[in-house]
Amino acid sequence: MTRFAHYPSLTGMPVVISGGASGIGESLVRNFAAQGARVGFVDIALDAGEKLAAELVGQGQEVLFTPCDVTETEIYQAAIAGFAAAHGDALALVNNAAHDQRHDWTDVTPAYWDDRMAVNLKHAFFAIQAVAPGMVRAGRGSIINTGSISWMIMSSRIPIYETAKAAAHGLTRAMARELGGSGIRVNSLVPGWVMTERQLTHWLNAEGEKLIDQNQVLAGRVYPDDIARMALFLAADDSAMISAQQFVVDGGWANA
């Protein structure tokens, strides 16, 4: 028997997730599907996305994958419309897609700035724009913007990423006000250093392990499922009166 929560309100709920083929996104897709939600997800990783969708559909879950670059706004909004046609208007949106590419601030060009903002922030606004009319018609909905503790702890070599992730909470606060009158909740979900395959492969070394042990107040590591379980709560009716907030899941590292 599982020791984690089941949310009846998620059964049959249309959910849209960006960047769902791997890492935190994959966990989001799996966890929402396991709750009985109707999941539509996008990612640029065609093979991984198709494999994940086929696996979950084979288990009897309602999952659709559309390969999509979220920086192509019209194409992304069309994908969201496709999910609505198949599953019904989204009642939950998880703006998860992001990329923490390292960079030296002295080398940043205007074009690189625009590209990084498109990958890490812009798509979230236009996804909200795409799902909000359906949520307004329903008189309810939950939008979850994924942030990062990187700007809170002043990480190095990702200044544009940090700027975008700090702005994500500004977007949350602004849209919570804009949409709250229609019964739509908007919150930020802020992961710490999560043990995804990308992090384990590219960044986590002995020095990183030491850093985590020194800064987290909880022993152990943060995993993608830890993030997904918070997203489930924020999408479910259990969080009906929560909006404009940020929820940090980082083992107690950042002083938010």
Q: Where are the domains of the chain?
A: 9-194+224-245
Q: What is the pLDDT of residue 219?
A: 97
Amino acid at 191: P
For residue 215, what are its two tokens?
């800064």
pTM: 0.97
Strands (E), the chain: 14-18, 38-43, 63-67, 92-95, 141-146, 184-191, 246-249
The rounded distance, in Å, linking the Cα atoms of 186 and 16 is 14
Calculate the dihedral angle through the C-alpha atoms of 17, 21, 25, 30, rounding to the nearest 10 degrees: 90
Render 203-239 in DSSP notation, one character per residue.
T--HHHHHHHHHH-SSSS-B-HHHHHHHHHHHHSGGG
Asked if 26 and 229 touch (Cβ cutoff 8 Å), the reply is: no
Mark 165-193 as b/e (b = at least 16 C-beta within 10 Å).
bebbbebbbebbeebeeeebbbbbbbbbb
Low-confidence residues in the chain, pLDDT < 50:
none
Which CATH architecture describes the domain 9-194+224-245?
3-Layer(aba) Sandwich (3.40)
Marked catalytic residue, from 76, 112, 161, 223: 161
For 109-143, how does the pLDDT look when each residue is reduced to its tens digit (9 = 90+)?
A: 999 999 999 999 999 999 999 999 999 999 999 99
Neighbours of 18 (CB within 10 A): 24
The rounded distance, in Å, linking the Cα atoms of 55 and 50 is 9
Q: What is the pLDDT of residue 255?
A: 81
For 92-102, how does the pLDDT look when each residue is reduced to its tens digit (9 = 90+)?
A: 999 999 999 99
Of 240, 245, 246, 129, residue with least CA distance to 184: 240
Does the annotation count 76 as an active-site position?
Answer: no
The rounded distance, in Å, linking the Cα atoms of 221 and 209 is 9
For 61-74, how does the pLDDT look when each residue is reduced to its tens digit (9 = 90+)?
A: 999 999 999 999 99
